[in-house]
Chains A and B, each alone.
Chain A
Amino acid sequence: MNPAPSNDNPFAGDNSGIQQRETAARWALRVGSYIVVIITLAIMLHIFVKGAPVVFRSEWPFVNTQFLTELPATLHVIEDQEGHHIETDVNGADAVKKKLGDDFRSEKTISYSGGGILGPIVGTALLVIVSVGVALFLGVACAIYLSEYAKHGKFLEMVRLAILNLAGVPSVVFGLFGLGAFVLTAPTFVDVPAERSVFSIPLGFTTLSFEGWDTCVLSGGFTLAFVILPVIITASEQCLQAVPQGFRETSMALGATRWQTIRYSVLPFATPGILTSSILGIARAAGETAPIMFTAALAFKDKLPWQKDLPPLPADASIFAHWEQSVSRFLGIFTESVQALPYHIYTLAAKIPQNEYAERAQYGSVFVFLVLVAALAASSVLLRKRLRAKYRW
């Protein structure tokens, strides 16, 4: 390994082979990075070019309000003798046909491609609220226990391994698990247990029956919670570990209990990171399709979760007089099945005949979905920055 002796320049050396390998390695890595960037940009640009015109308008209010505020509907396209296309919904179709009279040539109907996507947006929002609520509670509790209370050792290593494995489970398996656990067997309070109830415990005034929650926001939210739990646990534990050990020792040395120490001197400083990871968890939960297919989502629903055929509450008294009913109606939102954005996109892309009108609905939905996820990611970055500035050590 002696460098070749040289009389002129002691630093010249004969390292052409090394130099070439260095250059080759650098270019291989550079090309790899460029490919990733180009593909990402291509996807984004494609969706923006095709999707933005669906959502935005060139005149006031610049946004296609119909697309964002209406439920999906069947689109009727009526063609007249000159070849003009008139788009309308099921109610407008007859009027248009009557007006055209002999001018009428043909009518096409395209499922789900008319109206807007308010149903899926609301459904996804509800699913995300439930899943993040459940996952944050369970995940942060688990992370605190693992990080602050559990003794280091074999058992802890096994738990960590199990959590990592949970992250590797295919999401369709979570979907089937959710179907079995939440849709069909989760416990609920009923007056009379259903026939399919796995078993029931009479409590006197009511019965605790393991008959499941049916396909609804709650089932889907819990299933999604288990999909994002590993992410939240792992990230939360890392955030807790990042809080200096000195804070814990100081706090305990000042006579605080473990819980006081966690409450006042560990959690506040880990919260920015935990929130960031949970917002990324939101993006993940919002995007999963398989876990909600069997547990919460419908291909089509013509009502929002709170639109039910119930008699209105008597208007004479204040809402507090009927608070029990109000609460139960509010909770009723979560026992409804919903449409969800990723499942809606799947339906539009795979379940209906493809044409220009279906394509428009597809790109519009995907664009709105991407904007929502990007907004969540951006807010997570902002939140972290603000909280970091507040708690620095």
Chain B
Amino acid sequence: MAADTPAPTAAEPLIQVEKFNYAYGDNHVLFDVDLNMHSDDVMALIGPSGCGKSTLLRSINRINDLVDSARVVSGKIKIDGVDLYAPDVDVISLRRNVGMVFQKYNPFPRSIFENAVYGLRVAGIKDRHDLEEAAERSLRSAALWDEVKDRLHEVATGLSGGQQQRLCIARAIALQPRILLMDEPCAALDPIATARIEELIHQLRGQYTFVIVTHNMEQAKRIADRTAFFYKGRLIEEDETMNIFNHPRDPQTEAYITGRLT
């Protein structure tokens, strides 16, 4: 579970999506998606709204289970070769290993400290010292410690938007997951706060495997090792980020990155 677990060999992808089909009720949203994501990479998922990239992201920690009508039609998502949708998988421990940061920063209206240790608290850790240590470690990792160390017990919703989103990242990494899913983490932020989040992702690169959904292609270029382009529920093209943006193989990819496809 810890970030220092030995990385699998390059031949063995950390996350394997195999012929994955997903639907909300009768509304089919993902078709035969095949995608491998390697340990410690930063993977960006791009594509127009409604292309299924968020659904795929939300399937990796099974948070989409909360949607009543959502279901896996066929196919698998595996982490370390284990099928996430197998009946014996414990969603709770899956989610502890796969952290998630949402588009709208949404710290709980509690203290900064309580937000940072929420995941540990629900995991049953009660020792004050352990919690304080974990809070400091995760807030430092999220580059927020210096800004909030004197007001840990003030309510988190009093922070600025960018600080709140970094708190959400701290909250996710407090559990020391291996994978961090980010659903348009900068969509609600101004350019300066966005830059700080991107800087943070650069700092954390290598400690976690990032999967980031973004609408901002410049952002994908800046932060992602690899980029996958989705269109109408299908994976169109996946390659190294520079190849996707400089030499797209598929005409639809080219149309999207040049702004002709919406």
- List residues of A whose CB falls within 8 A of some B CB: 151-153, 244, 246-257, 260, 264-265, 269, 391-393
On whether the beta carbons of A391 and B109 are closer than 8 Å, the reply is yes
Q: Give 18 A-B contacts (CB < 8 Å), ordered by A residue.
A: A244-B106, A246-B104, A246-B106, A248-B66, A249-B63, A249-B66, A250-B171, A251-B108, A251-B118, A252-B63, A252-B66, A253-B95, A253-B172, A254-B122, A254-B171, A255-B93, A255-B96, A260-B122
Q: How far is the CA of A248 from the CA of B66 in the complex (A)?
A: 9
Question: What A residues does B100 contact at CB under 8 A?
Answer: 250, 253
Over the window 131-169 of chain B, the binary record of Cβ atoms lying under 8 Å from chain A Cβ atoms (1 yes, 0 no) is 000000000000000000000000101000000000010
On whether the beta carbons of B122 and A392 are closer than 8 Å, the reply is no
Decide: A392 near B123, CB < 8 A? Known: A253-B100, A254-B171, A255-B95: no
Q: Which of B94-108 contact A (CB under 8 A)?
A: 95-96, 99-100, 102, 104, 106, 108
A159 CB to closest chain B CB, in angstroms? Answer: 15
Q: How far is the CA of A392 from the CA of B110 in the complex (A)?
A: 9
3 closest A-B pairs by CB: A254-B119, A246-B106, A256-B122
- List residues of B whose CB falls within 8 A of some A CB: 61, 63, 66, 68-69, 92-93, 95-96, 99-100, 102, 104, 106, 108-109, 118-119, 121-123, 155, 157, 168, 171-172, 175
Q: How far is the CA of A248 from the CA of B118 in the complex (A)?
A: 13
Q: How far is the CA of A251 from the CA of B66 in the complex (A)?
A: 12
Question: What A residues does B61 contact at CB under 8 A?
Answer: 253
On whether the beta carbons of A393 and B109 are closer than 8 Å, the reply is yes
Question: What B residues does A152 contact at CB under 8 A?
Answer: 68-69
Question: What B residues does A260 contact at CB under 8 A?
Answer: 122
On whether the beta carbons of A393 and B157 are closer than 8 Å, the reply is yes
On whether the beta carbons of A247 and B102 are closer than 8 Å, the reply is no
Q: A152-B68, A256-B119, A264-B118 are in contact. List 8 more A-B contacts (CB 8 A).
A: A249-B66, A253-B100, A253-B102, A254-B99, A254-B171, A265-B108, A392-B109, A392-B155
On whether the beta carbons of B99 and A253 are closer than 8 Å, the reply is yes
On whether the beta carbons of A254 and B118 are closer than 8 Å, the reply is yes
Question: What B residues does A392 contact at CB under 8 A?
Answer: 109, 155, 157
